[in-house]
């Protein structure tokens, strides 16, 4: 009976189990809830709830009972509590993407389930009761639009929309005789600048297609595998087949077999393979408006980090893959990839004022720079990514005209990057009717606690009201979204994902998001990046090592010169070095790392600390957050008297040299430390591991997924500096007694990279996704037209108004249009 009862309990919602919990421990829970409510309005996070519980229940046995009982299980799933006395609202997350909301009345312990808007209203009472009780507060609810759309159910399938959608498509195609027709229509539409590919209009029914394919199969099976397409092209044309099937008999037969298989009995694997083979994509536009987007001298500048590295590597890998595919299709078409960014006349010595620049190590890819303009003229200086909103509409208009000119037509795929790029991608994709892929890199909402509810406090500095609105618009507009990790979409068992945090939130005074995005939507796919392996390779590959850099690296590390490019010094050169490199943003927590190091004398005895970050002279920075961090870094150096054990080097912009820098640190048997308060993905983690450097990285965000703790590296908790530095110190202590331990961790890190984080795997996946989602969009005809129309309305009625609150740069920031 007991087992049965437990089973029933397991399948009950948490809200339904709460009465049982209250019955089990009425006395103790009355004390807890009274205590929660006693300090007035506030929010409490899970750890704070545990802390209060521990304080209120002083008997250890009672405490244990409570923690181990039903209430303990509910608390384990509670992400936050909103206290509006006498009510306590609980946001309970039972699984990734699965939420329940309840309200407990502390005075009589009555319980009530809440809907999403009811919970959000309770939350709004913390900042604006008038708004919370306004019956006409604007609500954004996308749920009704998605009701008829296929949706996944299991948290483990989140981020694998490709598999789900291809199964769905295969079963649709196999439904009845008629249902295969859209596949034929799709093939008939294949063309390049109007030149027909695959099938002619003559083949206008599925039986005719089948007949032609069987005849083609007969022809090809009599030929040598390597017979070139040109030799059987005329026979294909007689059958109504155009080029695109393959460059030789072997490849063409392969494609034909796949299609014949689908026509006979469709299955998702054959469908995936077939769509991945046929010509669907020749030109790609990648938007990345903000920052300094350049190939040299830009890394480490404010707002200029992993996104730039990611895109340049992505372009290279994508072009290689497109060239291979197009060649195998037997086509003589040049693929084109355009990275579209902003042109910055005041380029600080970079090439960001150059309109067109070839992407290095590619044959046909370019960067196209289009300036930000207003009616005052061209904006000639850099602006923070938080301030770009007023310039984007005009940028979109100018950029789309230039793109069509450059490509002599429309691209086949548009990829957006970060909030601004995704917003622009949505506008252009909608205007040109093209498939759109989004890449967030980092959604800011989860980085800043309370940035939604307390948005008014943040707005002057960060303009999150614009950014979060742009994010919601773009994620709903995209045909598919790729992420670097699972956590980016749906977090983990205990933490909320970046996209998941956009399911329900509120910006009091502006609007309430009742259903913003569904993480079970098959548009989500995990496609992880890698590191350029020609730059980042293991320290053990001696012949490839760039030893010519060693002298200058040693100068940087070990000279005692105090300049505006490096300060501090290392008195014991024999110690291993723990190294970190990042932009000098607050959330990167470089100052946190320096402080932890300062406080742990055991670690200071064992290793030296080297940090590469930002400017050393605050007067050189134009970024408000960076200036504060620079000053903090100087004061920590003094406070903990770090001279002799700490070296701070300014941002390093040469990737090739940086690769050797990681390896040099590996030579000292050191480690890489990534201490961020939150890291969306963390390319430096991948780079360090690819160089064979043992890595300790934050458990908050992407690195938690990249590294298997204790195997391929280590997790550190940025909110527990002492524990983090002890973990690092223990590692080095152990390496002293067992030097092989260092090699074991280094090898396991490399192993992890080769299995899951390479650009080759990435490019193949991205092309297959484009083909599948393109086909899906085509056969579902309307795409998600209803959602898009709703988003357009929201854009016009809400987003544009919010943008008006963001100031444009003052007059001296402009050049007149005539000058340009
Ligand atoms: N980087 C660099 N020099 C610096 C700081 C960073 O070259 O002074 C590079 C780093 O090697 C990595 C990228 O910038 O390739 C940072 O990417 P990550 O994903 O770690 O963080 P992001 O800056 O994108 O938040
Ligand atoms: C932005 C970030 O903040 C990093 O965590 C990522 O690694 C980078 O973009 C590339 O996606």
Q: What is the pLDDT of residues 708-718, one digit of tens each?
A: 999 999 999 99
Give the model's pLDDT for residue 796.
98
Q: Which residue's CA lies nearest to atom 24 of ligand 1?
A: 306
Q: Is ligand 2 within 6 A of the CB of residue 522?
A: no
Q: Could you tell me the sign of the dihedral formed by the alpha carbons of 250, 252, 254, 256, in that order?
A: negative
171-205 pLDDT, tens digit each: 999 887 789 999 999 999 999 999 999 999 999 99
At residue 820 the predicted structure's pLDDT band, cuts being 50, 70 and 90, is very low
CA–CA distance, 673 with 717 (Å, rounded to integer):
12
Contact 566, 649 (CB under 8 A): yes
**For residue 686, how far is its CA from the centre of ligand 2 (angstroms)?**
11
What pLDDT score does 818 carry? 43
Beta-sheet pairing, 98-105 with 373-374: unpaired
Q: What are phi and psi of 240, to 5 degrees?
A: 95, 20
pLDDT value at 812 more than 90: no
- In short, whether 482's Cβ falls inside 6 Å of ligand 2 is no
Question: Mean per-residue pLDDT for 218-222?
Answer: 96
Strand partners, 87: 84, 105
Flag whether pLDDT at 735 surpasses 90: yes
The dihedral built from the CA positions of residue 122, 124, 126 and 129, taken in this order, carries a sign that is: negative
Q: Report the separation in Å between the CA atom of 442 and the middle of ligand 1, taken as the mean of its atom positions.
A: 13
Pocket test for ligand 2, best of 419, 484, 498, 684 (most atoms within 8 A of CB): 484
Task: Give, using CA atoms, the residue closest to atom 4 of ligand 1.
Answer: 300
Q: What is the pTM of this model?
A: 0.95
- pLDDT at residue 593 in the model: 98
The distance of Cα 162 from the centroid of its chain, to the nearest Å, equals: 17
User: What whole-number distance in Å separates Cα of residue 684 and Cα of residue 13?
Assistant: 41
Mutate to test the pocket of ligand 2, among 288, 442, 489, 587 (most ligand atoms within 8 A of CB): 442
Residue indicated by tokens 């331990």: 741
- Ligand 2 binding pocket mutation candidate from 308, 585, 588, 681 (most atoms within 8 A of CB): 681
Omega before 709 within 30 of 0, i.e. cis: no
Beta-carbon count within 10 A of 73 CB: 17
- pLDDT for res 1: 54
Token look-up 């469908």 returns: 271
Q: Is the pLDDT of residue 650 over 50?
A: yes
For 662, phi and psi rounded to 5 degrees?
Answer: -55, -45
State the distance from the centre of ligand 1 to the C-alpha of 412, rounded, in angstroms.
30
b vs e for 41-53, b when ≥16 Cβ sit within 10 Å of the residue's Cβ? eebbebeebbebb
d(CA 517, CA 146): 10
Q: How confident is the model at residue 14 (pLDDT cuts 50, 70, 90)?
A: confident
How does the average pLDDT of the chain come out, rounded? 95
Q: Please list, residue by residue across 436-447, b when 16 or more beta carbons sit within 10 angstroms of its beta carbon and e when fewer do.
A: bbbbbbbbbbbb
User: Which burial class, exposed, middle or buried, applies to 194 when counting CB atoms under 10 A from its CB (0-12, 13-18, 19+)?
Assistant: exposed
Q: Is the pLDDT of residue 572 over 70?
A: yes
What's residue 817's pLDDT? 46
Positions of E strands within 13-137: 42-45, 78-84, 87-95, 98-105, 111-114
Beta carbons within 10 angstroms of residue 571's beta carbon: 11
**Strand arrangement, sheet containing 365-371:** 356-358, 365-371, 336-343, 283-287, 413-417, 435-439, 480-483, 524-526
Q: Is the CB of 288 under 6 A from ligand 1?
A: no
Task: Quote the percentage of the chain above a pLDDT of 90.
Answer: 92
Q: What is the DSSP secondary-structure string of 386-422?
A: GG-GGGHHHHHHHHHHHHHHHHTS--SEEEEEHHHHH
- Categorize the per-residue pLDDT at 819 as very low, low, confident or very high, splitting at 50, 70 and 90: very low
The whole-number pLDDT of residue 200 equals 96
CA–CA gap between residue 507 and residue 529 (Å, rounded): 33
Ligand 2 proximity of 103 Cβ (cutoff 6 Å) = no
> Six-digit token pair at 578?
């723990």
Per-residue confidence (pLDDT) for residue 322, from 0 to 100: 98
Q: What is the ipTM of this complex?
A: 0.99
Give the pLDDT confidence of 282-328 residue by residue, as tens digits. Answer: 999 999 999 999 999 999 898 999 999 999 999 999 999 999 999 99
Residue 759 has pLDDT above 60, yes or no: yes
Predicted pLDDT of residue 7: 57
Burial class (CB in 10 A: 0-12, 13-18, 19+), 360: exposed
Per-residue pLDDT at 401 exceeds 50: yes
112-117-121 Cα angle (round to 5): 85
Query: How far does residue 443's CA lie from ligand 2's centre (Å)?
Result: 10
- For residue 412, what pLDDT band results from cuts at 50, 70 and 90? very high
Residue 592 to residue 446: CA distance in whole angstroms: 19
pLDDT, mean of residues 79-91: 97
The confidence score (pLDDT) of residue 89 equals: 98
Q: What is the pLDDT of residue 487?
A: 96
The bound ligand whose nearest atom lies closest to the alpha carbon of 446 is 2
For ligand 2, is residue 417 a contact (CB within 6 Å)?
Answer: no
Predicted confidence band at 810 (pLDDT cuts at 50, 70, 90)?
A: confident
Q: Which atom of ligand 2 is nearest to the CA of 702?
A: 5
- State yes or no: pLDDT of 4 exceeds 70: no
- Tell me the C-alpha distance between 648 and 561, whole Å: 11
pLDDT digits (tens, 9 = 90+) for 320-364: 999 999 999 999 999 999 999 999 999 999 999 999 999 999 999
Task: Give Rg (Cα) of the chain.
Answer: 29
Q: Which residues pair with 815 in a beta bridge?
A: 378
More confident site: 180 or 819: 180
Q: What is the pLDDT of residues 587-645, one digit of tens each?
A: 999 999 999 999 999 999 999 999 999 999 999 998 888 999 999 999 999 999 999 99
Ligand closest to the CA atom of residue 614: 1
Residue 311 CA: which ligand is closest? 2
Which of 418, 581, 682, 766 for a ligand 2 pocket mutation test, highest count of atoms within 8 Å of Cβ?
682
Pocket flag, ligand 1, residue 307 (CB < 6 Å): yes
Q: What stretch of H or E contains 76? A: helix 70-76
Alpha helices in 463-549 (DSSP H): 464-477, 486-490
Predicted confidence at residue 174, as pLDDT, reads 86
pLDDT at 2: 59
Q: Which atom of ligand 1 is found nearest the CA of 581?
A: 5
Q: What is the pLDDT of residue 177?
A: 75
Is the pLDDT at 415 greater than 90, yes or no? yes
Mean per-residue pLDDT for 468-496?
Answer: 97
């Amino acid at each position: 009976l007991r087992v049965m009862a437990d089973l029933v309990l397991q399948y009950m919602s948490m809200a339904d189990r709460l009465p049982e919990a209250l019955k089990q421990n009425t006395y103790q829970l009355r004390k807890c809830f009274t205590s929660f409510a006693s300090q007035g309005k506030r929010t409490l996070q899970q750890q704070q709830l545990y802390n209060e519980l521990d304080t209120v229940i002083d008997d250890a046995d009672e405490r244990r009972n409570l923690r181990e009982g039903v209430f303990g299980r509910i608390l384990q799933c509670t992400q936050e509590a909103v206290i509006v006395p006498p009510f306590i609202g609980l946001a309970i997350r039972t699984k990734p993407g699965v939420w329940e909301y309840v309200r407990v009345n502390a005075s009589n312990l009555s319980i009530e389930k809440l809907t999403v808007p009811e919970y959000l209203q309770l939350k709004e009472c913390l900042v604006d009761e008038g708004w919370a009780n306004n019956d006409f507060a604007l609500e954004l609810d996308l749920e009704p639009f998605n009701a008829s759309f296929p949706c996944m159910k299991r948290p483990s399938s989140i981020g694998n929309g490709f598999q789900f959608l291809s199964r769905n498509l295969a079963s649709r195609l196999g439904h009845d005789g008629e249902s295969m027709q859209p596949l034929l229509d799709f093939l008939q539409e294949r063309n390049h600048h109007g030149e027909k590919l695959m099938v002619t209009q003559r083949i206008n029914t599925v039986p005719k297609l089948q007949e032609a394919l069987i005849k083609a199969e007969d022809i090809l099976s009599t030929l040598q595998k390597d017979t070139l397409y040109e030799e059987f092209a005329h026979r294909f044309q007689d059958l109504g087949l155009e080029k695109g099937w393959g460059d030789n008999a072997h490849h063409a037969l392969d494609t034909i077999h796949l299609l014949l298989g689908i026509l006979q009995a469709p299955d998702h694997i054959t469908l995936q393979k077939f769509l991945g083979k046929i010509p669907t994509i020749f030109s790609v536009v990648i938007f990345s408006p903000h920052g300094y987007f350049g190939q040299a001298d830009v890394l480490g500048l404010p707002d200029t980090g992993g996104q730039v590295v990611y895109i340049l590597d992505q372009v290279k890998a994508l072009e290689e893959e497109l060239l291979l595919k197009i060649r195998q299709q037997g086509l003589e078409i040049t693929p084109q990839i355009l990275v579209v960014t902003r042109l910055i006349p005041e380029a600080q010595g970079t090439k960001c004022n150059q309109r067109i620049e070839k992407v290095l190590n590619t044959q046909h890819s370019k960067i196209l720079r289009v300036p930000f303009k207003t009616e005052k003229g061209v904006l000639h200086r850099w602006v923070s990514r938080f301030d770009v909103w007023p310039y984007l509409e005009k940028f979109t208009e100018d950029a789309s005209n230039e793109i069509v000119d450059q490509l002599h037509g429309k691209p086949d795929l548009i990829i957006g990057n970060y909030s601004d790029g995704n917003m622009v991608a949505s506008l252009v994709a909608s205007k040109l009717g093209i498939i759109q892929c989004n890449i967030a890199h980092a959604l800011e909402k989860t980085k800043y606690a309370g940035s939604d509810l307390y948005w008014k406090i943040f707005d002057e500095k960060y303009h999150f009201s614009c950014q979060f609105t742009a994010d919601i618009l773009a994620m709903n507009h995209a045909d598919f979204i790729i992420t670097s990790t699972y956590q980016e979409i749906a977090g983990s068992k205990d933490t909320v994902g970046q996209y998941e945090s956009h399911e329900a939130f509120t910006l009091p005074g502006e609007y309430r998001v009742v259903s913003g995005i569904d993480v079970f939507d098959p548009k989500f796919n995990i496609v992880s990046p890698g590191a350029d392996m020609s730059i980042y390779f293991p320290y053990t590959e001696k012949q490839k090592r760039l030893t010519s850099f060693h002298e200058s690296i040693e100068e940087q590390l070990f000279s005692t010169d105090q300049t505006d490019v490096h300060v501090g010094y290392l008195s014991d050169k024999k110690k291993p070095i723990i190294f970190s490199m990042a932009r000098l943003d607050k959330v990167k927590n470089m100052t946190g790392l320096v402080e932890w190091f300062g406080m742990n004398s055991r670690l200071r005895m064992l290793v030296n600390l080297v940090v590469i970050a930002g400017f050393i002279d605050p007067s050189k920075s134009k970024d408000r957050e960076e200036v504060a961090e620079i000053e903090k870094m100087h004061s920590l150096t003094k406070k903990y008297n770090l001279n002799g054990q700490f070296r701070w080097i300014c941002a390093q912009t040469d990737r090739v040299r940086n690769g050797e820098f990681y390896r040099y640190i590996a030579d000292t048997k050191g480690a890489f430390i990534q201490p961020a308060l939150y890291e969306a993905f963390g390319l430096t983690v991948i780079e360090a591991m690819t160089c064979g450097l043992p890595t300790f990285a934050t458990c908050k965000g992407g690195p938690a997924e990249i590294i298997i703790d204790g195997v391929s590296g280590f997790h550190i908790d940025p909110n527990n500096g002492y524990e983090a530095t002890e973990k690092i110190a223990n590692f080095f202590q152990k390496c002293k007694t067992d030097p092989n331990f260092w090699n074991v961790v280094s090898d396991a890190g490399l192993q992890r990279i080769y299995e899951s984080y390479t650009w080759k795997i990435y490019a193949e996946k991205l092309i297959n996704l484009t083909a599948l989602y393109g086909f899906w969009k085509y056969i579902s005809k309307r795409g998600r037209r209803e959602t898009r129309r709703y988003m357009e309305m929201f854009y016009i009625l809400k987003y544009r108004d919010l943008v008006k609150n963001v100031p444009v740069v003052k007059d001296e920031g402009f050049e007149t249009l005539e000058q340009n």
